[in-house]
Structure 1
Amino acid sequence: MANSHSDLHSEQGAARGEHPGRAANPTIKIRDIAWLEFEKPDLVRAEAFARAFGFQTAFRGPDELRLRGTNSGSPCVLLRRGERSRFTGIAFRAEDEADVRRLAAKTGASVQPLPDDLGGLQVSLVDPSGIPVRVVAGTDDLPQLSSQTPLLVNAGHELVRVNATQRAPRAPARVQRLGHVVLQSTKYAAALDWYLENLGMIVSDFLFFPGQRARGPAMSFIRCDRGTEPADHHTLAMALGPANRYVHSAFQVSDLDALAAGGEYLGERGYFRSWGIGRHIQGSQLFDYWRDPDGFLVEHFADGDMFDATLEPGWAPFTASGLAQWGPPVSGDFLGTSPRGAREEALAILRALPRRNEFDVHRLIGLLKVARS
């Protein structure tokens, strides 16, 4: 593994005895994230937002909606009709069906066929936070669709566009694919190890609460281990907090102009921008965060870091100012400190503190420092 952090993704590496960020002998190594699953009471409203956000509809039925990007592969979001809006799980793609069977044998779970119109096999698990996790293989691929072509950009003195203007269309940014999901867990360390040991994922960056590095990390950005083939800086990110819950998901678009013009399109239709536009530090993505009509946070991103398996984890303090290299100050809505978010967060803290989990008073103090730092 690369052991120098000079000019790499982080100024600091691990200290002696800190978490290595990978399992020595994982059961399997997943290939990628496949899809996310939600229940929503109003699929018509959900589809209207999805189309404005840039999804294509892969399937529409009376009680189910499947959304896709322009890349070939499986749908990237499955919505089913339910009494209330809620996140119901993640699916990851294994290398092949043999890995699905290997994981099932190791965990004591059974291998089941997926619905005929998705194809393939699955093993259904639950992580230590209580999040349902499917691992799938052999699914039928949807065909590639046309995507937005990145605009030609004159960078400095390098001219690639002459006698031509730039006119980014004010239209939905065409989602290409699902990039990652972010979860919060009251059992962060146990859940982290579960993903590393069972799914073979590896950590790109650890964050620790201000003044609490000795207590261990409080957030991790986790990628797929594809060996020498580069993978997204994070396919899964996990943070310690007062509830086990979905935080946000991110969907790739072609470039900054698609992201910005797509944001203008969403804003004109009355949808709420949570935070953006900016560029992250961990992962380096250009980002723009929006709330769907049910309050779920979703992100357009472009130009993210790609790492192979040689890079070791970086370590950095978890601070609000450290979430972006540039862009507007991080919003209260994104941090959960807005009036609506603060009430929900306070209730989650009151429920979490009396229970046996990793989110104790010391960790609460660390979390409160994040928003102020």
Structure 2
Amino acid sequence: MSKLSPDPEREDPHRSLHSETAGLPGEHPGRARNPLIRITGLAWLEFEKPDLARAERFLVDFGFTVTDRTPEALVLRGHWAGTPSMVVRRGATSRFVGPAFAADARADLDRLARATDRSVRPHRGGHAVDLVDPSGFPVRVVYGVPELPALPERDPSPVNAGNRSARVNATQRPARRAAQIQRLGHVVLGTTRFRTALDWYLETLGPIVSDFLYLDGQRERGPVMAFIRCDLGSVPADHHTLAMALQPQTGYLHSAYQVTDLDEVAAAGWYLGERGYRHAWGIGRHIQGSQIFDYWRDPDRLMFEHYTDGDLFDSTMQPGWAPLSASGLSQWGPKATARFTGARDPEVLLAAIKALTDRGNEVDFAALRGLIQAMSS
């Protein structure tokens, strides 16, 4: 039986990406009228690492459980039942390869393959179609991959809040240890072809936008960042499964993994700090998505997030609009650091210069100036 529930709004002609929408010029409706398929979530993320032993040490300390290990690959999982969260293969450099998304039915793979001139092939006990998005990221869509059973995990901490007493004659003693990751939540990508990539995802895979961010003073050019959720009809979905932002360089920004509560976020962060890992930003609460977050970098500087208490939206929620700014990324918490934004990274400056000379992207002087102002605000 399909996981999707009927949604009469899907046939609203005003939801076409190419129709006129209410609001300012450049306003985007945030969903496609008739996408090829509608994905139901992230299946896993794929990475390459030159040193699998070092990669495994960080990922286990971060909270993953190794479910398969060979000389050429690691497969890691969270505690909830489902597909593995991450596949790490041996490679020449440390890099994010691409996401794998879950389809709702085998027929979706057949439809996707016909429309994109691809083929359906066996993969990890199920089937997959391999695509490439406009930014150049390999995108895998899978169905029928066998799920792993749930692992034991602790219950959320009982909390005495106001006049509600959940804990009497009992102390609170969270352990400082590796997190018990529950599941993969989302991935955030930077791209020099934001609008093209956004429309491709909405039209091809059928997610919908929860929130748009635009450059302050440049809203007429449309959004430069989107938080995108799966369209599950009346079934609530994570605020974002995928987020994308216009950047001077195409690449992975971070991925996020759900844990049970604030104690798990905080205690696991102390554990990572005691083991010498580099903290990037947190603890705080986001505005778009509302997650309580904490960001860490692995030994190769790739960024990973622990989070808890994220928003859930059904298909009736329309996109929010807000200006992009570093200070607007959190409701409370420390200021966003240069370790998080990459504002002081020499590679970003070189990428910006290159982007301005490349006519095949959406980065111009106005956008670059707006992005710099946003990340320094």
TM-score, normalisation: structure 1: 0.94
> Are residue 142 (structure 1) and residue 148 (structure 2) matched?
yes
Residue from 348, 352, 369 that aligns with 1:349: 352
- Does residue 63 of the first structure (1) align with residue 72 of the second (2)? yes
User: Residue 109 in 1 paired to residue 118 in 2?
Assistant: yes
C-alpha deviation, 1:146, in angstroms: 1.1
CA contact (8 A) 1:148 1:258 kept: no
Instruction: Indicate conservation of the 8 Å contact 1:248/1:299, yes or no.
Output: yes
Paired residues in the alignment total 356
> Does 2:28 match 1:24?
no
Gaps (5+ residues) in structure 2? 1-8, 10-20
> Could you say what secondary structure the match of 1:301 adopts?
strand
One-letter amino acid of the structure 2 residue matched with residue 371 of structure 1: M
Structure 1 residue 372 displacement after superposition: 2.4
Shift of 1:74: 1.1
Q: 1-side partners of 2:327 and 2:237: how far apart?
A: 26
SS of structure 2 residue aligned to 1:353:
helix
**Partners of 1:160 and 1:89 in 2: how far apart?**
43
User: Residue 299 of structure 1: which of 301, 305, 312 is its match?
Assistant: 305
1:15 pairs with 2:19: no
Corresponding residue number in structure 1 for 2:184: 178
Task: Give 1:370's match in structure 2, choosing from 367, 374, 377.
Answer: 374
CA offsets per residue over residues 43-71 of structure 1, 9 Å max, x none? 10111111110000010000100110001
Separation in structure 1 between the aligned mates of residue 302 and residue 174 of structure 2, nearest angstrom: 27
Q: Distance in 2 between matches of 1:98 and 1:366?
A: 43
Distance in 1 between residues matched to 2:85 and 2:112, nearest whole Å: 22
**Displacement, 1:160?**
0.9
Identity, % of aligned positions: 59
1: CA distance, partners of 2:375 / 2:203? 32
| Partner SS state of residue 357, structure 2 | coil
Retained in 2: the 8 A contact 1:14–1:315? no
Q: Residue 125 of structure 2: which of 107, 119, 136 is its match?
A: 119
Query: How is 1:40-51 mapped onto 2 (pairs within 5 angstroms)?
Result: 40-51=49-60
1:125-169 per-residue CA deviation (whole Å, 9 max, x = no partner) reads 000000100000000111110123110000111001000000001
Task: Note the C-alpha offset of 1:243.
Answer: 1.3
- Which runs of no fewer than 5 residues in structure 1 stay unpaired? 2-12
| Matches of 1:174 and 1:272, distance apart in 2 | 19
Q: Is the 8 A contact 2:24 2:220 kept in 1?
A: no
User: Cα–Cα, structure 1 residues 329 and 14, in superposed 2: closer, same or farther, change >3 Å?
Assistant: farther
* CA distance in 2: counterparts of 1:198 and 1:371, whole angstroms: 31
User: Whole-Å Cα distance in 2 between the matches of residues 136 and 45 of structure 1?
Assistant: 29
Match in the other structure for 1:8: none
Q: Deviations over 1:161-216 (max 9, x none)?
A: 00000000111110110000000011000000000000000000000011110011
Root mean square deviation, CA, Å: 1.1
User: What's 1:128 paired with?
Assistant: 134
- Structure 2: how far apart are the matches of 1:39 and 1:295? 13
| Runs of 4 or more above 4 Å deviation | none
Q: 1:249 aligns with which of 245, 248, 255?
A: 255
Q: 1:148, 1:362 → 2: CA distance? A: 49
Contact preservation (8 Å) 1:14, 1:314:
no
Q: What is residue 96 of structure 1 aligned with on the other side?
A: 105
Letter in 2 for 1:92: F
Amino acid in structure 2 at the alignment position of 1:318: L
Q: Does 1:197 align with 2:203?
A: yes
